[in-house]
Amino acid sequence: MSDRSIFRIESLCGAVLSLVACTLPPEREFPKDSDQITLEDICCKTIDVYPDPIVDLMEPKAETSRLLNGSHYIRRPYLEDKTQTHAYILRHLQPMDILLTSDKSQVSGWLIPGYFTHSLLYLGTEQQLQSAGLWDATALRPHLGKIRAGNLFYEATPPQVTFSPAQDIFDVDSVAVFRPDLSKGQKRAAISRMISHLGKPFDMRMDLATADCLFCAELLNLALPELNFKRQSAYGRQLIAPDSIAVQGLNPQSNLRFIGVVFGQRQMAETGSAEMLAATIQRHWPDRSRPSEAN
C-alpha cells in the first residue's frame, strides 16, 4: 500500500473524527431516577454511526492502515506514566478479571463508537494463580515463563492474540475492572479455551462470524460463554461492544460484578463509582428517541 493511499485513509478518518467530536453530547450527571434498564436500552443502539460508503472505503484498507492499527496519536494516554495508578489497579485484580479500557489518545479510539475501546483478561501472577488452584492448568504449562516474566494479561489486539505486560495495558486513558462469578472449574475451562486461540490474527472487521481471526470482545466471548454477552448488529455483521460488557457488569443481577474504575486526566487519576461509570457510558450513547435538550 502506498503512502499516498494511507494518507487518503488518514485524511478521511480525520474528517470522521472531527464529525464525531463535534456531535459528542456534553457531560452530564447520571439521572437519579434512571435505572439499569434505561441504560441497557440506550447503550449500543446506534453503533453503526458511519455512512456505508465510508465503511466500504475504509474496511478493505484496515489491515494495512497505520491509523486503524493504533499508531496515530492525538496526545499521550492519560495513564501512560502514572505508575502508582498502575500499581493500584494491579493490587485489586484477581485471576480471570475482565478489564475494559478507554483510549481517546489515538484516532482509532474515536472511530470506535462508545466509551470503552478495548476489552481483555487478567491472568494473574504466579502466586495468585497458585492460590486460586489454576497454576497447574494444563493449558498454562507451556506459558509459565511468560507469566513469570510479567505478561499477566491476555488479549486479542493487533496483530494477534497474545500475552501482554502491564505497561502495555495501562497506556490508556481509563480502566474499569469487572469480575465474573466463576467456579474454579469454570476458570480452568476458560483458560483452556482462551489459550487455544493464542497467535490467532486480530479481526479488524470485528465480525463474530469469522472464526479464523478474533477481535477483543470475541476472545472474551469464546473464553467465558457463561457470561452470555449481548450481541449487537452493525454494518451487516454481529459484534460485541465493550460498552455493552460494562453495562452488563453494572447490573446487580448479572454474573459479572463491577469492581472499580480509574479515570485518567492530564495531571492526575481518580477512582470512580458505578454511577459515575454509568453516566460516562450514557453520555457516549445519547437517547436518539428523545428530543435534544436546548442549550
Dump pLDDT digits (tens) for 260-274.
999 999 999 999 999
SS3 state at 248: helix
Check residue 39 and give its pLDDT. Answer: 75
At 240, the amino acid letter reads I
Q: Which three cell numbers stand for residue 275?
A: 454511577
58 in a structural domain? no
Contact between residue 120 and residue 99 where contact means Cβ atoms under 8 Å apart: yes
Phi, psi of 273 (to 5 degrees): -90, 170
202 in a structural domain? yes
| Predicted TM-score of the model (pTM) | 0.81
Contact between residue 120 and residue 218 where contact means Cβ atoms under 8 Å apart: no
Sign of the dihedral defined by the CA atoms of residues 214, 220, 226, 228, in that order: negative
Check residue 47 and give its pLDDT. Answer: 61
Phi, psi of 99 (to 5 degrees): -110, 135
Dump pLDDT digits (tens) for 186-222.
999 999 999 999 999 999 889 999 999 999 999 999 9
**Grid-cell match 478493505, residue found:** 60
DSSP 50-69: S-HHHHHHHGGGTTT-TTTT
Dump pLDDT digits (tens) for 213-249.
999 999 999 999 999 999 998 878 899 999 999 999 9
Q: Which residue has the higher pLDDT, 108 or 274?
A: 274
290 in a structural domain? no
Q: What's the total number of domains in the chain?
A: 1
Nearest 5°: CA angle at 71, between 143 and 105? 100
9 in a structural domain? no
Residue-range definition of the domain harbouring residue 101: 27-51+70-284
Separation of CA 11 from chain center: 25
Dump pLDDT digits (tens) for 118-165.
999 999 999 999 999 999 999 999 999 999 999 999 999 999 999 999
Could you tell me the pLDDT band of residue 110, with boundaries at 50, 70 and 90? Answer: confident
At 199, the amino acid letter reads G
59 in a structural domain? no
Dump pLDDT digits (tens) for 35-82.
555 677 778 776 655 445 444 444 555 554 444 555 577 899 999 999
- DSSP bridge pairs for 256: 180
Strands 97-102 and 174-180: antiparallel
168 in a structural domain? yes
CATH assignment of the domain containing 101 = 3.90.1720.10
